[in-house]
Chains A and B, each alone.
Chain A
Amino acid sequence: MTISVSELSASPTPVAMLDHMTVAIQCRDLRKTYDEKVEAVRGLNLEIQVGECFGLLGPNGAGKTTTIEILEGLLQPTSGQVSIFGHAWNENEREMREWLGISLQETRLSEKLTVRETIELFASFYREPRATDEVMEQLELTEKADSWVGKLSGGQRQRLAVATALVCNPKILFLDEPTTGLDPQSRRQLWDIIRTFQKNGGTVLLTTHYMDEAERLCDRLAIVDHGQIIAQGSPADLINRLGGHHVVEFSVSGNHDGAALPAWRALPSVESVRADEGLIALNVKQPHLTIPALLETIDQQGGILQHLTTRQASLEDVFVRLTGRHLREE
């Protein structure tokens, strides 16, 4: 029997296929409507490059989880296209699953299995998984290898969830709210793990409602609100678009509420202004020009300065500027 050249080239190895791709994840005009009423995702476009750490930032209920689960092929979109390394989900799902490591929001792994057994179980589904010991070492779970999952702390459980994703040696890591509810040390530990994965050539897509997480971890991010992307770019980019890198917040005694906003807007170097929880917040390019003028104006009006702080602008300011709401309503 002879094998023709065309037959050979018809089934390229996955690695060869991936080699030519620079776009890891792409979706066009993604929509998801639940029960023909609730529009969770309303026309979302994304393009995530290989080797990138991309974040979906938004408040709870913005549609982040729905979006990431559609991209993971776990949820059927109402309309729109998804492609992972150029492949659609209905093409070759089993093969595509070999490339992806997934950590869902709040999966409760079996409590009566040990850490090692859990990782081994997930490893057994993949064709060429990594060695369990190596993964446990990387996620600092070696000490807990023979402990039951039920006995782990929140941070350890979350690391185990990521371990079950990393054991398959994925090309893309999907993380849905990976650090929600974790203590600061556990969060930093997870950030390091994600960075290491990315440094080794992996692509990361994560959702978060922590702006500091998005700012530190993501190369690019999309701010999602009500199922739509309202801004997209690198964290620095987005903050730049505010106009000012600095935020001056102050309050004045007297009748200086929202009605006086145009007066503050007219101060030198002020890019935008808003009233926020009893304070006036100014986005400012050069605080050393704004602040003397501000003090002078207050003085002229006969007001008394009650409060004055300046700080670096953050993604939170971007979100508030875009939506008029805070990222985390607490």
Chain B
Amino acid sequence: MSLAQETPIRTEEPQPEPPRRNGRWSGYSHLLMARMLELKREPEVVFWVFIFPLLLALGLGIAFRNKPGNAASVSIIEGAGQGFRLGKFDLVIDANRKVGVEYLYDPARPESVLAKAEIDDALQAAAGRKDSVPTTAVPSSEPGSRYIDFLIPGLLGMNLMNSGMWGIGFALVDMRQRKLLKRFVGTPMRRGDFLLALASSRLILMIIEVGLLLLFGALFFHMRVLGSIGSIALIAAIGSLTFGGVGLLTASRAQKIESVSGLINLVMMPMWIFSGVFFSYERFPAIIHPLIKALPLTALNDALRASILEGTPITHQWPRLLIMTLWGGISFVLALKWFRWT
């Protein structure tokens, strides 16, 4: 009996639906749509990717807003050493000396040093000291030089790293653990389309992440964006794909989400510390600066800051873009070589 004879003729349906034909990109578009729907329906993702960076920017922006210089907290009360030690006061003045006054201050704390200088100046001037060189001071608190201006591009970079690593790395291992990857491989799905859909979903999220954070900075902190939207978008896209590639590599072999979580944190930890998210890496010894600058997040943060705060054209940023592209590209190639689909 041949197969042709066995093929059923559906007589029970009066008007059988015409067989549909899927085009070349049908798999890709459905994978992308499914991914976006899943993300949209996951409240945690919405919070961590979109809301959390805004809260972080808001909190840090308020805590480290530029205070006027005379806001130093000084204690003249005797026995205030305790409050000084806890960081409540910047300076303790002991006026009960036989000769002059004694300043208790911490030379390692800028605000403490500043408070001592200001108080001393005021005291000496009041006692009749005359400045020998006449000076004029012009106050300037222009947007662009404040801590929040430094912070927002750093948060942007960190957020792109976080969501790239988790959004690709964690998602893939989760699918592998659920045997969903194996199930997909059991269909004629093109594996390249699958990875492309993941990368595309990252880029779509990237646009929203970057847009939200910049808009927030502009509205709440009157931040000024000097670079063009196009160059910022290009840098963010390269950064996003770079960390997508690194995420793919961390996820290439892991079978359990517990093991990939540890791995992702291990990869990200040095960059949280060194790459100048919250403070400039100039604070680290100069000898390790070349190493720090070779990290992909440093390159991304530097490129974002240069573009957003200084309006540096993209053509002057190619070494940073190259560092990112190398990290992403090499990770991607290695990941494809080692990737475990089943």
Contact = CB atoms under 8 A, between A and B. Distances in A.
B183 A124 contact: no
Contacts of B11: none
B22 A102 contact: no
Interface stretch (A3-11, A92-100, A248-256, A275-283): A92-100
Interface in A80-127: 94-95, 97-98, 100, 102, 104, 106-110, 112-113, 117, 120-127
B128 interface: no
B38 to A, nearest CB: 5
B30 A121 contact: yes
A201 interface: yes
Nearest to B19: A128
A306 interface: no
Interface in B28-58: 29-31, 34, 37-38, 41-42
B2 A125 contact: no
A19 B187 contact: no
Nearest to B40: A112
B8 A201 contact: yes
A48 B19 CA distance: 29
Contacts of A164: 183
Interface stretch (B174-182, B216-224, B324-332): B174-182
Contacts of B268: none
B7 interface: yes
Given A75-B342, A120-B30, A124-B30, A104 B22 contact: no
B21 A168 contact: no
Contact of B4 (A19, A72, A128, A130): A19
B187 A109 contact: no
Interface residues of A, number: 48
Interface in B180-217: 180, 182-190
A69 B179 CA distance: 12
Interface string A54-93: 0000000000000001001111000000000000000000
B8 A107 contact: no
A50 interface: yes
A112 B34 CA distance: 9
Given A121-B31, A124-B26, A126-B188, A102 B20 contact: no
B37 A201 contact: no
The 5 residue pairs across chains A and B that have the minimum distance between CB atoms: A201-B6, A124-B30, A108-B178, A97-B188, A200-B8
Interface of B: 1-4, 6-8, 17, 19-22, 26-27, 29-31, 34, 37-38, 41-42, 178-180, 182-190, 342
15 contacts: A20-B2, A50-B6, A51-B6, A73-B186, A104-B182, A107-B178, A109-B178, A112-B41, A124-B30, A126-B187, A129-B22, A148-B41, A168-B187, A200-B6, A200-B7
